[in-house]
Structure 1
Amino acid sequence: MRSAKRALAAVVAVVAVAGAAGCSGGQGDGKSGDRGPVKIGAVPTPTADTDEPLPLDAYLPTKEQEESIQRAKSVLVSTCMKRFGFTYPAEPVPDPVLAMIRSGGEGALAFRSESEAAQYGYHPKPESGEGQAESGSGAATGGDRAVMELVLTGKSQDKVRPSDQDTVAGKAVPEGGCVGEADAELAEGAPAPDTGGSDDVLPEGAPEESLRTAAGNGPVNAVLALRGKAADQVTKDERFVEMIDGWKKCMKTAGYPLGSLSAAAEDPRWSESTTATQEEKNTAVADMRCRLEVNYLGIDHALDSAYQQRMIEENGEMLESVRSNTEARVKNAAALLGQG
């Protein structure tokens, strides 16, 4: 869903800040805000959302690549945990952010058909198997939970690993725990993306760590940071602002004087019930009708694509190193799984 991907922008930006280590720069002038509004061609007028990829998606791992990396990682983590006396399920756990990006998401701001809005409001549609445990989400067993967390991640709620001398069962806990050890092994020989050393890719205040210590997600977070930055520029673009103003007028005429999409979709009253109330459904139907009236989907898609393309132009060298990093980790994963 296109607008669901818009809703994900804030999420991935936060993820990038929290996990993208040292990823604070780009190639080219790195100051897209100084270049003025992007040029766009003919704006489409879709009447339904799509899962069409955005330009920066080409630099994220494909589903097949991510599955290969996660399979190898799960085996490495399980083997490492066994050294310390813990049984840990060797089952891959998909990256939740990448999974949401690929699916388009099911966020509150997602566009849905009028019939779905009338049925579910802003609540998520029920899915088969809902409530079942996610594959690979089983907990480790075999001892004290705090110690298990220390071995798994290098820290726990009760004990943060203070030095390389921390030991469990007479063995030194790896830097970053078994997860860090697995990521380091998968990243062996993988080029660390050159982010140029400026402070332009990530928002101010991003942690200054090396990409190699970012739990294996530094390269991905570099792309997510650019996605978030492009999305931020879209919301400031005059064409987007004018479109949202049109949406506000439409909603007011329909009897819903609201100031933003999030004010409509994330009204606290909607969370008071596990299912949509009639008022929520009515609001959602008006919302979707007004989005179509102002061509929200078409304008959002055109601007998001254009600003992401600008990000690619300004950060091409770094993005190519991200792609090379992914390819190297996939190659290592295949070798570890006996497939390469």
Structure 2
Amino acid sequence: MKCVVAVAVLAVGALAMAGCAGDEGGQGGSPASAASLPPPPVTATPSVSNLNDVKLPLDRYTTTIDQLIDLDYASKAVAADCMKRFGITWRFGERAELNALRDRTNRLGLIDEAVAKRAGYHADPEHADDYTQTDRDRTTLTDDQALVLLGTTPGRKAPDGVPEGGCLGEGHRRIAWNLDEDAWLEDLTNEAAGRTFADDRALRIAADWSACMKASGYRYAKPDDANNDARWWKNEKAAASKIEINTAVADVRCKRKVGYLDQMTSILSAYQQQIVEVNAERLETAHQHTQDALKNAATVLSGR
């Protein structure tokens, strides 16, 4: 699959799917006025070997994967109690794992040469389990039961007495988890990434990378073109071909040669810092809301 992601992705959507949440996704609101500002200066370009080791400006405010898992699990625990009021036993399964979202190594494009050698641009077979969520203990709900859980399903509304947003909505409210704020934080993260890749400095880095690739016998204008080469994706389940692997290895080596990760991380950090400065007050409020929700979640889960 095309999973070498060029933009940062929060787990809100993944958790919503894992928990069948549909009540409070919202649009989260758009970033303030940062997008209309001129490109921020890059004051330093430190050496970066792995994006996992970098503290980005928005990291202070975004909900971590472990925090999202706790909030999700506590919400489901409350929802399960709510379902009992309607005579439904809902086993909501194990905690979500979301391991694929923990690793930022290749967030700005394929960087790991070992992965390139094993899998090209495809999902690394050594970490295949990271992309699956096995939940054998979860109850399969009927349509009527799902209506109680979610509060609404396409073309149907929940019966009287079901809380707004269903029992899952009750769970979110009990711990005061604001999914709209998490979606907004995701918007900010994606805004910074999008502006980074469109930045003239990033385009110059891509041009340097392209020249390096050409010298190695490959013609691509930018890294995404190599990742998205249609030849690799005729059958996403098939193992990477030798040609794909050779291309991916050349890609990673050219990125290293032109200082791709160092420079792109610096540009991304500058855009995130600009967004933080524009949205400082709201970000602090969202951060405090998350801390409060985590305390509430811990209370719900204590003794379970």
Question: Which one of 166, 170, 177 corresponds to residue 181 of structure 1?
Answer: 170
CA–CA separation in structure 1 for the residues paired with 2:260 and 2:106? 17
Is residue 155 of structure 1 aligned with residue 152 of structure 2? yes
Is residue 250 of structure 1 aligned with residue 212 of structure 2? yes
| Offset from partner CA, 1:30-82 (integer Å, 9 cap, x none) | 24533x22122231344555442321011122455334323321211211222
Q: What displacement does 1:262 show?
A: 1.9
TM-score by length of 2: 0.82
The amino acid of 2:143's aligned partner reads: A
CA gap 1:300/1:122 in 2 versus in 1, 3 angstroms = same
Q: What displacement does 1:22 show?
A: 5.3
Is residue 85 of structure 1 aligned with residue 71 of structure 2? no
Q: What displacement does 1:232 show?
A: 1.6
Is residue 229 of structure 1 aligned with residue 187 of structure 2? no
CA gap 1:107/1:242 in 2 versus in 1, 3 angstroms = closer
The 5 Å alignment of 1:1-340 reads: 7-9=6-8, 11=9, 19-21=25-27, 23-24=29-30, 26=32, 30-34=33-37, 36-47=38-49, 50-91=52-93, 93-94=95-96, 96=98, 100-104=100-104, 109-113=109-113, 115-127=114-126, 130=129, 134=133, 136=135, 138-141=137-140, 145-157=142-154, 159-161=155-157, 166-167=158-159, 172-187=161-176, 216-271=178-233, 272=235, 274-338=238-302
The amino acid of 1:56's aligned partner reads: L
CA–CA separation in structure 2 for the residues paired with 1:105 and 1:149? 37
CA gap 1:108/1:84 in 2 versus in 1, 3 angstroms = farther
The amino acid of 2:169's aligned partner reads: G
Q: Which moved more, 1:315-324 or 1:256-265?
A: 256-265
Count of residue pairs brought into register by the alignment:
290
| Partners of 2:65 and 2:101 within 8 A in 1 | no
Q: What displacement does 1:287 show?
A: 0.6
CA–CA separation in structure 2 for the residues paired with 1:282 and 1:20? 43
The amino acid of 2:58's aligned partner reads: L
The amino acid of 2:156's aligned partner reads: V
CA–CA separation in structure 2 for the residues paired with 1:276 and 1:82? 48
Counting aligned pairs with the same residue, the percent is 32
| Offset from partner CA, 1:187-225 (integer Å, 9 cap, x none) | 1xx7xxxxxxxxxxxxxxxxxxxxxxxxx4111112111
**Secondary structure of 1:130's aligned partner:** helix
- Structure 2 spans left out of the alignment, 5+ residues: 14-23
- Structure 1 spans left out of the alignment, 5+ residues: 191-215
The amino acid of 1:257's aligned partner reads: R
TM-score by length of 1: 0.74
| Offset from partner CA, 1:271-293 (integer Å, 9 cap, x none) | 32521100100110111111112
CA–CA separation in structure 2 for the residues paired with 1:107 and 1:233? 15
CA–CA separation in structure 2 for the residues paired with 1:233 and 1:217? 24
CA–CA separation in structure 2 for the residues paired with 1:135 and 1:301? 34
Q: What displacement does 1:186 show?
A: 1.3
Q: What displacement does 1:104 show?
A: 1.6
Q: Which moved more, 1:103-112 or 1:78-87?
A: 103-112
CA gap 1:32/1:301 in 2 versus in 1, 3 angstroms = same
**Secondary structure of 1:287's aligned partner:** helix
| Partners of 1:122 and 1:284 within 8 A in 2 | yes
| Partners of 1:233 and 1:307 within 8 A in 2 | yes
Q: What's the RMSD between the two structures over aligned residues? A: 3.2
CA gap 1:230/1:130 in 2 versus in 1, 3 angstroms = closer
**Secondary structure of 2:274's aligned partner:** helix
| Offset from partner CA, 1:219-245 (integer Å, 9 cap, x none) | 111211111111122122211110011
CA–CA separation in structure 2 for the residues paired with 1:91 and 1:130? 17
